[in-house]
Structure 1
Amino acid sequence: MAATSHPITKAIVTGHTRGLGAALVDALRARGIDVLGVSRSRRAAAVDAAAPAGRFEEVELDLSNSGKLAQWLAGDTLARFLRGAERALLVNNAGTLGPVGPSAVQPPAEVAAAVALNVAAPLMLAGAFSNATSGIADRRIAHVSSGAARNPYPGWNIYCATKAALDHHARAAALDTERGMRVASVAPGVVDTEMQGQIRAVDETRFPLRERFAEMKRSGQLTSPEEAASKFVEYLLSDAFGRTPTADVRSL
């Protein structure tokens, strides 16, 4: 029996240094996929120690600084990395929870930084990725979404609004019918990451549902980053990806 041929696949992952992002890098590389990580810090030593099959590169860049991101995207790094790919992936994973609390306690500078990281960066990267992959037949953009995009939470109006923006971007981008492009905003479930620790540490006056998340941790209801990443990548590489613009790995 002849061996199954797989397309040469390359992926860009933002926020790749820890939590779900780090697990996504490992899951992709374990499948022989080359990965370019983009984040404000580096994790090369930790990644290379695992030595999965796929090659790994990383760029140190503060994605909440839209000016610096635009300057970087004007260069040729994306096109150079993606050269030779038959399937290209962009996973917009980087994001922030804060500022948490009602609008009256939200510092304007923190609001601006959160919107830049959670919304401007993914949309800027999506546009640059589309341009850089115009000659690739199979192109896929995955926004890492959240249940907060689809259900409101007290104290999370910035997080809810920014994640909902990614969902709606996917819905609208899917209507553009770019050749070979699939776009979906995918919720990975409640994952045991540093963000969950931040949620449990916040003052209850700013986030009244804090105890619900603390109980999820105590009762073992949180999904490990590795399990969530495995399901996310399996869906990302499947023929089903992009058939609907929003998805949740828990219901796939």
Structure 2
Amino acid sequence: MIKALLTGHSRGLGTAIADALLARGIPLLALARSGNPQLCSAHPDLLQEVSLDFSDTPSLQAWLHTPALRDFFADAESALLINNAGLLQPVGLVGEADATAIAHAVAVNVTAPLLLTNAFVATTRHCADRRVVHISSGAARSPYAGWSVYCATKAALDHQARAMAAEHLPGLRVASLAPGVVDTAMQAEIRASSVEQFPQKGRFEALKNSGQLTSPDKAAQRLVNYLLGPNFGDVVDGDLRHLPD
């Protein structure tokens, strides 16, 4: 049996990933600050939700010390972890961000996925096949003025995946994948930024206006196909648009 753990399922790409997994009959433990009533109604026997605020590191640590993960994966033969939850903010040039906002972003974008990955790997040692995917970004690999915090946090996940892959743990595959420019609320945040905060705002407005944004459903289907396929993990830090299913 395949079982999956997903963060950030309450909206956007996370909702689409959850839907793609559940549609395949994969039991899902979903962690987010808010629930997703529509998914719960559609898949009451497959979806378990846990309300967690990933910026509250002590609360996440406390949850990880409960038997919830162990109990969920106890009968799994294959186990998946999708670290999807993330924040774009704070957007702005260095020296302008609030210290609390920076710490908040690092907790959500880096600390939480590292804690979850560590717990997942420890909990699923009995599984013959274990797969971890971090949802990365092109910003992890190319610098953007105004996004120094977001760039740094996504780059941290990329490098953590590289280090994990170098450890060659039994049955464990890992990839940090950029999904492309997906039409989510985060893109709306980008377009709401000022040019002073984010000098490349016009480029993202043009992508939206010209219909070049990928739908969350399309990106999620491609991600889940690749995650479940035989080639997963061959490329540790890739762009999902350029990888085979």
Q: How high is the TM-score relative to the length of structure 1? A: 0.94
Cα RMSD for the two superposed structures: 1.1
Which 4+ runs in 1 deviate beyond 2 A? 48-52
Partner secondary structure for residue 95 of structure 2 = helix
Q: Which residue of the partner structure matches residue 154 of structure 1?
A: 145
Code of the residue aligned with 1:245 in structure 2: it is V
Counterparts of 2:71 and 2:181, CA distance in 1: 35
- State whether structure 2 residue 6 is matched by structure 1 residue 13: yes
Q: Which residue of the partner structure matches residue 181 of structure 2?
A: 190
Deviations 1:114-144 (A, max 9, x none): 0010001000000000111011110011000
Deviation at 1:50, TM superposition (A): 3.6
- Which of 211, 228, 231 is 1:220 aligned to? 211
> Please, which runs of 5 or more residues in structure 1 have no aligned partner?
1-7
- State whether structure 2 residue 32 is matched by structure 1 residue 36: no
Code of the residue aligned with 2:4 in structure 1: it is A
Q: Which residue of the partner structure matches residue 48 of structure 1?
A: 40
Code of the residue aligned with 1:201 in structure 2: it is A
Deviation at 1:244, TM superposition (A): 2.0
Deviations 1:159-216 (A, max 9, x none): 0000000000000110111110111101111000000000000111000111110111
- Which of 64, 82, 88 is 1:97 aligned to? 88
Counterparts of 1:51 and 1:97, CA distance in 2: 30
Q: Which residue of the partner structure matches residue 22 of structure 1?
A: 15
**Which aligned pairs between 1:45-124 and structure 2 lie closer than 5 A?**
45-51=37-43, 55-124=46-115
Counterparts of 2:87 and 2:205, CA distance in 1: 19
Counterparts of 1:18 and 1:177, CA distance in 2: 33
Q: Which residue of the partner structure matches residue 170 of structure 1?
A: 161
Code of the residue aligned with 1:20 in structure 2: it is L
Deviation at 1:51, TM superposition (A): 4.0
- State whether structure 2 residue 117 is matched by structure 1 residue 126: yes
Calculate percent identity across the aligned residue pairs: 52
Q: Which residue of the partner structure matches residue 4 of structure 1?
A: none
Count of aligned positions: 243
Q: How high is the TM-score relative to the length of structure 2? A: 0.97
Deviations 1:39-98 (A, max 9, x none): 11111x21034449x700110000111111111101111111112111100000000001
**Which aligned pairs between 1:128-143 and structure 2 lie closer than 5 A?**
128-143=119-134
Counterparts of 1:74 and 1:49, CA distance in 2: 29
Partner secondary structure for residue 122 of structure 2 = helix
